[in-house]
Amino acid sequence: MDGIIGEIEALKVVPVVAIENPDDANRLADALLEGGIPCAEITLRTAGGLKAIEALSKRPEFLVGAGTVHSDQQAAAVADAGARFVVSPGFNPKTVAWCKDHDLPVFPGISSPTDLEMALEFELEVVKFFPAEAMGGIKTLKAFHGPYQSIRFMPTGGISMSNLADYLSLPWVVACGGSWLAKSNLIAEGRFDEIVRLTAETTSLLKEISA
């Protein structure tokens, strides 16, 4: 798991993508790669999600994970499809246990101290904070950090270019989930040039932040 965490931490942003047509998966990956972020969390919100993961898993230069994973059965399915990590909106102990038993990195969603207690019970290093902005954003993350200093976070939900730097300024934030990079309508309309532009802008901002 440390290897995947390291890869995600180096990227700083994980594009969160809901893709309807798996035939668009490789064009999506090409656009993200061209823009400078060789990674995507493909959610299971659409019927095409699993097939898209399978297509992208064949590309060694691209880090593909599965999002919106609600059960151990779905975790098994995305593992078979080639997902290299699992993300869920909430904390399902069965999903987390299955992933840990099968050495599949998992980042369950948390939004309360009770969730974080479960994360400690499962010896997790990194969790998803979701929905970040709706749950108080940076103020809440700072409050969580006091009693849970061993846990780091991947905030997702309401994050954009305008507040990305603020989140990444917190040392206990590994990376942020970003839905602004490859919105479903851009993929469906074939506007991959716009995805390249948004990704390149984000990459440029990340360089400024780390300078």
Q: What is the pLDDT of residues 45-102, one digit of tens each?
A: 999 999 999 999 999 999 999 999 999 999 999 999 999 999 999 999 999 999 999 9
Reply yes or no on whether 128 is catalytic: yes
Enumerate residues 6+ apart whose C-beta is below 8 A from 40: 14, 15, 16, 17, 28, 29, 32, 56, 62, 63, 64, 65, 182
Q: Is 203 inside any structural domain? A: no
- Kindly name the residue from 100, 125, 128, 142 that is annotated as catalytic: 128
CB neighbour class for 195 (10 Å; exposed up to 12, middle 13-18, buried from 19): buried
Q: Is 207 inside any structural domain? A: no
CB 85 within 8 A of CB 154: no
In this prediction, what percent of the chain has a pLDDT beyond 70?
A: 100
User: Residue 2: is its pLDDT beyond 90?
Assistant: no
Q: Is 210 inside any structural domain? A: no
Distance (Å, whole) CA 178 – CA 87: 13
Q: Is 209 inside any structural domain? A: no
Q: Is 205 inside any structural domain? A: no
Name the β-bridge partners of 43.
Answer: 67
CB atoms within 10 A of CB 165: 12
pLDDT-derived band at 22 (thresholds 50, 70, 90) equals very high
Which CATH number do you get for residue 190? 3.20.20.70
Distance (Å, whole) CA 205 – CA 45: 29
Distance (Å, whole) CA 97 – CA 89: 16
Q: Is 79 inside any structural domain? A: yes
- Kindly name the residue from 41, 94, 100, 183 that is annotated as catalytic: 41
**Region 150-160: what's the mean pLDDT?**
98
pLDDT value of residue 211: 80
pLDDT value of residue 1: 62
Model pLDDT for residues 163-185, shown as the tens digit of each residue: 999 999 999 999 999 999 999 99
Whole-number average pLDDT of the chain:
97
Residues of the domain holding 178: 2-198
**Region 103-125: what's the mean pLDDT?**
98
Closest CA to 41 of 182, 138, 192: 182
The total number of structural domains that make up the chain:
1
pLDDT value of residue 125: 97
Q: Is 166 inside any structural domain? A: yes
**For residue 78, what is the enclosing H or E element?**
helix 72-81
Q: Is 161 inside any structural domain? A: yes
